[in-house]
C-alpha cells in the first residue's frame, strides 16, 4: 500500500520495497524500462578557416560537406555513356543538312529556269509575276507604259518566280493580245527529303501504275476567245488591248502532240484527250505522235516550225495540248461548256541547259495568234467534232434524268410509307391485324403474278 501511495504522490519508495517490485506482478513486465541508449560522439567536419571580411572582421566558422567525387561530372561519366545521344544528334544533323542542301538545290534549279525564260516572257507579256503594276509607272500611257512595264519585269529577274513550297514554284503573266493570262508551275523533286524521293522511285520501278517523278514545267494559256471585254483586267492601258476590230475567237476542238511514252498516261488522266484518235505524222520524229479529232485540224496546226521545236526538245518534251474540254470527265451539262486552253509540259534538264527548250516555249506563247488565224474549219469538220460532244452531253443528261427519276420514286415510296403508318396507327389491335393480313395477301398475289409472267 505504501508503494502505491508513493507512486501516486511522487514519494520515494524505500529500499526494502525495490526487491519486492523487481519480483512483482508479471502483468507489468511490458512497462519495464530497458537500458538507456549510449550516446556516441559524432566527429564534426574539419572547421573552415576564418577569413577576414572587408571591414577587417572575422567571419564565423562554417561547416561544409566533405569533398567527394559525387560533385565532379567528368569523374562520374565518360564519353561512352553518351553513345545514344550522340547517334540521335548525328542523325538530326544529317537530316537537317540534307534538308537545307535539297531546298537550296531546288531553289537554284527554279532560278535557272526563270533566268532562261525571262526574255520570252517579258517580250510577249506586259506584266509578269505577282507584283502588279509599280506605282511609279501607273500614270504612264501607250508605248511609254509598255516599255516601262518591260523594264520593271526585267529588273525583277528571279523575283518573277514565286516559291509556293520547297518543291513548287509558279509565275503569272498577262497583258498580251489574244491571251487573257498565262500560268506556269514548276514541280521539282523533293530533294529536301531523300527518303521520299527513294520511295517514289521504288514505287515507280515495281509498279507500272505508278509514274516516275521528274522535275517538270507545266504552262497553261487561257485565250480570250472573243471575250476581251469580260476578262481583261482594269489595268492602266488595258483599253488599248481591246479594239473593236480585233477578233480572237477560234473553233472548238482538241488537238495534241504527245510523247509516245506519256501517251497512255495522258489519255488515262485527261478526259479531253480521250475524245481524240492517235495518228503518226511524217513531219514528227518517231517518238512523237498526234492526237486529233480530224486530219484537217492537224494539217492546219502542225507547222514546220512547231515540228522543229518539238524535235529539238527531244525526250524532255511530254505534250502540247489545245483543248476546249475539261480535264476531268464532266458530270453536269454546265461542265461541258467549251473553255479553251493551251497546255505545255516538259521535263527540266539535269544540266539546266534550256537552249533546246526555249524555242518550244516561245512558239507556245505565240500559238494563240496562229489559232486565231487558221483555226476556222469547214462545217463538216465542226459537225464531227460537235457530234462527240453532243454524245457526251446526252449521256450526262440521261444519267441526270435517271437520277432524278430515282429520287422521285424514292420520294413517292416515302410518302406512301408515311400514309400507311398513319392509317395503321389509327386502328386498334384487331383492325391492325386484319390490315396486315390483307397487305400480305396483296403482296402474295403480286409475287405470284410476277412468277406467272416470267414463266
Residue 67's pLDDT is 57
Residue 159's pLDDT is 86
Per-residue buried b or exposed e for 325-334, using 16+ beta carbons within 10 Å of the residue's own CB? bbeeebeeee
Residue 56's pLDDT is 46
Task: Dump pLDDT digits (tens) for 256-276.
Answer: 999 999 898 999 899 999 999
Q: In whole angstroms, what is the distance from residue 290 CA to residue 275 CA?
A: 13
Residue 20's pLDDT is 41
Q: In whole angstroms, what is the distance from residue 244 CA to residue 251 CA?
A: 20
Residue 143's pLDDT is 73
Mean local confidence (pLDDT), 358-371: 95
Task: Dump pLDDT digits (tens) for 377-406.
Answer: 999 999 999 998 888 888 888 888 888 888
Residue 107 pLDDT greater than 80, yes or no: yes
Residue 4's pLDDT is 47
| Residues 181/174, Cβ–Cβ less than 8 Å | yes
Least confident of 10-19, 384-393, 444-453: 10-19
Looking at per-residue confidence, does 383 or 61 come out higher? 383
Which of 294, 279, 250, 257 has the alpha carbon at shortest distance from 383? 294
Q: With the C-alpha atoms ordered 392, 396, 399, 405, is the resulting torsion angle positive or negative? A: negative
pLDDT level of residue 40 (50, 70, 90 thresholds): very low
- Give the pTM: 0.73
Residue 345 pLDDT greater than 60, yes or no: yes
Which of 410, 409, 435 has the alpha carbon at shortest distance from 422? 435
Task: Dump pLDDT digits (tens) for 271-308.
Answer: 999 999 999 999 999 999 999 999 999 999 999 999 99
Residue 35 pLDDT greater than 60, yes or no: no
Looking at per-residue confidence, does 35 or 230 come out higher? 230
Residue 222's pLDDT is 95
Residue 156's pLDDT is 83
Residue 8 pLDDT greater than 70, yes or no: no
Q: In whole angstroms, what is the distance from residue 217 CA to residue 346 CA?
A: 6
Amino acid at each position: 500500500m505504501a508503494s502505491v501511495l508513493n507512486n501516486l504522490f511522487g514519494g520515494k519508495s524505500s529500499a526494502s520495497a525495490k526487491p519486492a517490485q523487481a519480483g512483482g506482478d508479471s502483468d507489468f513486465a511490458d512497462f519495464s524500462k530497458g537500458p538507456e541508449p549510449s550516446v556516441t560522439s559524432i566527429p564534426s567536419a574539419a572547421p573552415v578557416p576564418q577569413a577576414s571580411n572587408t571591414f577587417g572582421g572575422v567571419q564565423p566558422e562554417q561547416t561544409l560537406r566533405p569533398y567527394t567525387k559525387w560533385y565532379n561530372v567528368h569523374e562520374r561519366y565518360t564519353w561512352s555513356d553518351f553513345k545514344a545521344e550522340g547517334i540521335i544528334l548525328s542523325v538530326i544533323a544529317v537530316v537537317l543538312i540534307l534538308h537545307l542542301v535539297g531546298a537550296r538545290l531546288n531553289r537554284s534549279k527554279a532560278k535557272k529556269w526563270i533566268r532562261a525564260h525571262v526574255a520570252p516572257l517579258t517580250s510577249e507579256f506586259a506584266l509578269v509575276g505577282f507584283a502588279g503594276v509599280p506605282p511609279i509607272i501607273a500614270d504612264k500611257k501607250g508605248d511609254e507604259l509598255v516599255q516601262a512595264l518591260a523594264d520593271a519585269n526585267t529588273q525583277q529577274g528571279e523575283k518573277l518566280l514565286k516559291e509556293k513550297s520547297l518543291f513548287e514554284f509558279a509565275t503569272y503573266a498577262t497583258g498580251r493580245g489574244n491571251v487573257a493570262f498565262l500560268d506556269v508551275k514548276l514541280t521539282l523533286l523533293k530533294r529536301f527529303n531523300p527518303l521520299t524521293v527513294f520511295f517514289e522511285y521504288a514505287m515507280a520501278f515495281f509498279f507500272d501504275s505508278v509514274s516516275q517523278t521528274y522535275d517538270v514545267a507545266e504552262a497553261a494559256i487561257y485565250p480570250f476567245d472573243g471575250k476581251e471585254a469580260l476578262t481583261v483586267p482594269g489595268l492602266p492601258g488595258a483599253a488599248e488591248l481591246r479594239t473593236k476590230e480585233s477578233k480572237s475567237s477560234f473553233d472548238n476542238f482538241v488537238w495534241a502532240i504527245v510523247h509516245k511514252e506519256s501517251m497512255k498516261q495522258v489519255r488515262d488522266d485527261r478526259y479531253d484527250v480521250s475524245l481524240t484518235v492517235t495518228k503518226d505524222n511524217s513531219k514528227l520524229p518517231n517518238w512523237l505522235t498526234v492526237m486529233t479529232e480530224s486530219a484537217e485540224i492537224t494539217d492546219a496546226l502542225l507547222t514546220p516550225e512547231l515540228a522543229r521545236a518539238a524535235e529539238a526538245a527531244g525526250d524532255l518534251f511530254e505534250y502540247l495540248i489545245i483543248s476546249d474540254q475539261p480535264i476531268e470527265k464532266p458530270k453536269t451539262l454546265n461542265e461541258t461548256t467549251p473553255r479553251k486552253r493551251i497546255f505545255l509540259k516538259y521535263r527540266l534538264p539535269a544540266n539546266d541547259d534550256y537552249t533546246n527548250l526555249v524555242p518550244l516555249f516561245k512558239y507556245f506563247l505565240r500559238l494563240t495568234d496562229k489559232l486565231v488565224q487558221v483555226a476556222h474549219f469547214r462545217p463538216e469538220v465542226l459537225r464531227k467534232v460537235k457530234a462527240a460532244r453532243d454524245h457526251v452531253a446526252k449521256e450526262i443528261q440521261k444519267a441526270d434524268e435517271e437520277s432524278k427519276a430515282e429520287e422521285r420514286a424514292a420520294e413517292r415510296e416515302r410518302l406512301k410509307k408515311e400514309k400507311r403508318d398513319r392509317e395503321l396507327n389509327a386502328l386498334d389491335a384487331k383492325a391492325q391485324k386484319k390490315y396486315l393480313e390483307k397487305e400480305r395477301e396483296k403482296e402474295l398475289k403480286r409475287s405470284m403474278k410476277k412468277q406467272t409472267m416470267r414463266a
